[in-house]
Amino acid sequence: MNAVEENALRIYIAKIEKQNEQMRELSTRKGFYAAYFVALKTAKSNKAAFDTINETYHELFGNYRYSDWNSFKKMTNYYNNQKK
Protein backbone atom coordinates (compact mmCIF):
# COMPACT_ATOMS: atom_id res chain seq x y z
CA MET A 1 0.00 0.00 0.00
CA ASN A 2 1.49 3.33 -1.00
CA ALA A 3 1.26 6.65 0.82
CA VAL A 4 -1.68 7.91 -1.27
CA GLU A 5 -3.72 4.77 -0.57
CA GLU A 6 -2.89 4.95 3.14
CA ASN A 7 -4.01 8.58 3.29
CA ALA A 8 -7.24 7.76 1.44
CA LEU A 9 -7.87 4.91 3.88
CA ARG A 10 -7.25 7.18 6.90
CA ILE A 11 -9.71 9.73 5.53
CA TYR A 12 -12.31 7.02 4.90
CA ILE A 13 -11.89 5.59 8.41
CA ALA A 14 -12.24 9.06 9.95
CA LYS A 15 -15.46 9.59 7.99
CA ILE A 16 -16.87 6.23 9.11
CA GLU A 17 -15.93 6.91 12.73
CA LYS A 18 -17.71 10.28 12.61
CA GLN A 19 -20.82 8.65 11.12
CA ASN A 20 -20.69 5.95 13.78
CA GLU A 21 -20.54 8.57 16.54
CA GLN A 22 -23.48 10.44 15.00
CA MET A 23 -25.48 7.22 14.77
CA ARG A 24 -24.85 6.43 18.42
CA GLU A 25 -25.91 9.92 19.43
CA LEU A 26 -29.01 10.19 17.26
CA SER A 27 -30.24 6.66 17.96
CA THR A 28 -31.62 7.72 21.33
CA ARG A 29 -34.37 10.23 22.03
CA LYS A 30 -32.07 12.11 24.40
CA GLY A 31 -29.26 12.22 21.86
CA PHE A 32 -31.55 13.45 19.09
CA TYR A 33 -32.87 16.15 21.43
CA ALA A 34 -29.33 17.20 22.41
CA ALA A 35 -28.28 17.38 18.75
CA TYR A 36 -31.34 19.54 18.08
CA PHE A 37 -30.18 22.06 20.69
CA VAL A 38 -26.69 22.14 19.19
CA ALA A 39 -28.21 22.78 15.76
CA LEU A 40 -30.32 25.62 17.21
CA LYS A 41 -27.16 27.69 17.69
CA THR A 42 -26.71 28.13 13.94
CA ALA A 43 -30.19 27.48 12.55
CA LYS A 44 -32.52 30.24 11.39
CA SER A 45 -35.48 28.74 13.27
CA ASN A 46 -36.46 25.90 15.56
CA LYS A 47 -37.98 24.03 12.63
CA ALA A 48 -34.82 24.49 10.54
CA ALA A 49 -32.75 22.98 13.36
CA PHE A 50 -35.15 20.06 13.59
CA ASP A 51 -35.12 19.55 9.81
CA THR A 52 -31.31 19.48 9.80
CA ILE A 53 -31.10 16.82 12.51
CA ASN A 54 -33.98 14.76 11.14
CA GLU A 55 -32.36 14.82 7.68
CA THR A 56 -29.03 13.70 9.15
CA TYR A 57 -30.88 10.87 10.88
CA HIS A 58 -32.45 9.91 7.55
CA GLU A 59 -29.06 9.89 5.80
CA LEU A 60 -27.60 7.62 8.48
CA PHE A 61 -30.51 5.25 9.12
CA GLY A 62 -32.59 5.37 5.94
CA ASN A 63 -35.76 6.64 7.60
CA TYR A 64 -36.87 9.67 9.59
CA ARG A 65 -36.98 9.56 13.36
CA TYR A 66 -39.98 11.92 13.40
CA SER A 67 -42.46 12.31 10.57
CA ASP A 68 -42.56 16.09 10.88
CA TRP A 69 -41.95 19.09 13.13
CA ASN A 70 -45.31 18.74 14.88
CA SER A 71 -44.70 15.12 15.86
CA PHE A 72 -41.30 16.11 17.26
CA LYS A 73 -42.87 18.93 19.32
CA LYS A 74 -45.65 16.63 20.53
CA MET A 75 -43.21 13.93 21.69
CA THR A 76 -40.79 16.35 23.35
CA ASN A 77 -43.65 18.08 25.16
CA TYR A 78 -44.94 14.71 26.32
CA TYR A 79 -41.56 13.56 27.66
CA ASN A 80 -40.78 16.95 29.22
CA ASN A 81 -44.11 16.88 31.07
CA GLN A 82 -43.42 13.33 32.32
CA LYS A 83 -40.37 14.57 34.22
CA LYS A 84 -42.42 16.95 36.35
* Residue ranges of the chain with per-residue pLDDT less than 50: none
Single pTM value for the model? 0.82
Per-residue pLDDT, 81: 81
Alpha helices in 27-82 (DSSP H): 29-40, 46-61, 69-82
Per-residue pLDDT, 83: 64
Per-residue pLDDT, 48: 97
**Domain limits for position 54:** 3-82
CA distances from 5 to 8, 12, 16, 48 (A): 5, 10, 16, 38
**Would you say 32 and 65 are in contact if contact means Cβ atoms under 8 Å apart?**
yes
Per-residue pLDDT, 1: 80
- Count the domains in the chain: 1
Nearest one of 46, 66, 64 to 56, comparing CA atoms: 64
The SS3 of residue 67 is coil
